[in-house]
């Protein structure tokens, strides 16, 4: 177990209408400096298929993709003890202050990616924000047996619908 601190800046602006929250950046994402950066994580490919656009590759392309679609991205936790990238080992979770985004952006819908992000949001953030989140399945490579690629794309279409 190691204590991990969230070092990635939230991605948002005043036009953001949807907020996507993971649990905590994986070791690979922390090393590469952007959300969902593990090469086997399926989020960016899924999002590109949902919005029918090329897969954003660099951090700047991913940030531009999010801004172009009025999507904010962050994580539920600012710190925790965790073993590697295994969310099931999380202990001593400390939440990020969601009001950093919610006070500036016109967020209409909050999505949490994965069971642990949803559980932690409900426990730590919902009592403060009073805003429900909608569960989306994890795009992590550890979740490949539970969700096929096509089922992820279908599940994530709700983001586009939420944006109108």
* Among the listed residues 9, 136, 139, 13, the one whose alpha carbon sits nearest the alpha carbon of residue 68: 13
Reduced to 3 states, what is the DSSP secondary structure of residue 31? helix
Estimate to the nearest angstrom the gap between the alpha carbon of 146 and the chain centroid.
18
CA dihedral 116, 122, 128, 131 (to 10 degrees): 110
Residue 112 corresponds to which tokens in the numbers above? 């949490």
Is residue 96 within 8 A of residue 118, CB to CB? The reply is no
Active-site positions read: 41
Between strands 86-95 and 77-83, the pairing is: antiparallel
Give bridge partners of residue 22 from the DSSP assignment: 75
Neighbours of 33 (CB within 10 A): 12
């Amino acid at each position: 177990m190691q204590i991990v601190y969230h070092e990635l800046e939230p991605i948002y602006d005043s036009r953001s209408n949807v907020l996507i929250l993971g649990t905590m950046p994986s070791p690979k994402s922390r090393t590469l400096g952007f959300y969902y950066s593990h090469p086997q994580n399926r989020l960016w490919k899924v999002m590109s298929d949902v919005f029918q656009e090329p897969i954003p590759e660099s951090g700047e392309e991913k940030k531009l993709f999010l801004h172009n679609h009025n999507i904010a991205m962050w994580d539920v936790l600012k710190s925790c003890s965790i073993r590697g990238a295994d969310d099931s080992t999380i202990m001593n979770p400390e939440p990020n202050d969601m009001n950093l985004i919610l006070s500036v952006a016109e967020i209409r819908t909050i999505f949490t990616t994965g069971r642990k992000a949803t559980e932690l949001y409900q426990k730590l953030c919902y009592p403060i924000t009073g805003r429900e989140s909608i569960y989306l399945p994890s795009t992590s490579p550890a979740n490949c047996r539970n969700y096929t690629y096509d089922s992820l794309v279908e599940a994530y279409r709700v983001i586009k619908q939420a944006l109108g």
